[in-house]
């Protein structure tokens, strides 16, 4: 994980407004959200390793399933997940977990981040800053 300094850290927005601004830029709300917090994820690359820019957010007024919820944006960071190639040999045929979670566990959930992806992440954060905090 590589934290990235940003002027969006500790700013507050309506979650709806964040979605309207970030989704057209390629961000998605990551699947690991709960009622109090979540992430906007931007996939940078997925060649053998998934490289993401992740922008965490936390509910400050309401919960994430509540219309009009206000969220606080936290420090953006880069994340790399390295996955196995091929079929997951530990999966069991007919197992409930295989029906629920079809994805393999990362072999390295915090893989190294190449310098060129750090630079790309910084550029994307600058663009997000311009969208969220226009000068």
Q: Hey, what domains does the chain have and what are their CATH numbers? A: 2-85+103-132 (3.30.310.100)
User: For 14-63, how does the pLDDT look when each residue is reduced to its tens digit (9 = 90+)?
Assistant: 999 999 999 999 999 987 778 899 999 999 998 878 899 999 999 998 88
Burial class (CB in 10 A: 0-12, 13-18, 19+), 15: buried
Which tokens sit at 67?
């219309």
Residue 59's φ and ψ, nearest 5 degrees, are -65, 130
Q: Is the pLDDT of residue 102 over 50?
A: no
Higher pLDDT, 87 or 52: 52
Q: What is the DSSP letter of 34?
A: -
User: For 59-78, how does the pLDDT look when each residue is reduced to its tens digit (9 = 90+)?
Assistant: 998 888 888 899 999 999 99
Higher pLDDT, 96 or 23: 23
Query: Which of the four pLDDT bands, split at 50, 70 and 90, describes residue 111?
Result: low
Record the pTM.
Answer: 0.79
d(CA 91, CA 132): 43
d(CA 86, CA 98): 15
Helix or strand run (H / E) with residue 54: strand 49-61
């Amino acid at each position: 994980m590589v934290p990235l300094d940003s002027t969006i850290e500790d700013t507050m927005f309506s979650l709806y407004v964040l979605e309207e601004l970030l989704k057209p830029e390629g961000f998605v709300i990551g699947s690991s959200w709960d009622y109090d917090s979540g992430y906007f994820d931007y996939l940078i690359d997925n060649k053998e390793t998934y490289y993401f820019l992740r922008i965490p957010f936390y509910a400050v007024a309401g919960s994430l399933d509540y219309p009009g919820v206000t969220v606080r944006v936290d420090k953006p960071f880069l994340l790399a997940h390295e996955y196995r190639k091929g079929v997951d040999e530990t999966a069991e045929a007919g197992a409930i977990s295989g029906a629920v979670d079809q994805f393999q566990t990362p072999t390295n959930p915090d893989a190294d981040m190449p310098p060129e992806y750090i630079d790309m992440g910084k550029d994307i954060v600058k663009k997000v800053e311009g969208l969220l905090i226009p000068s």
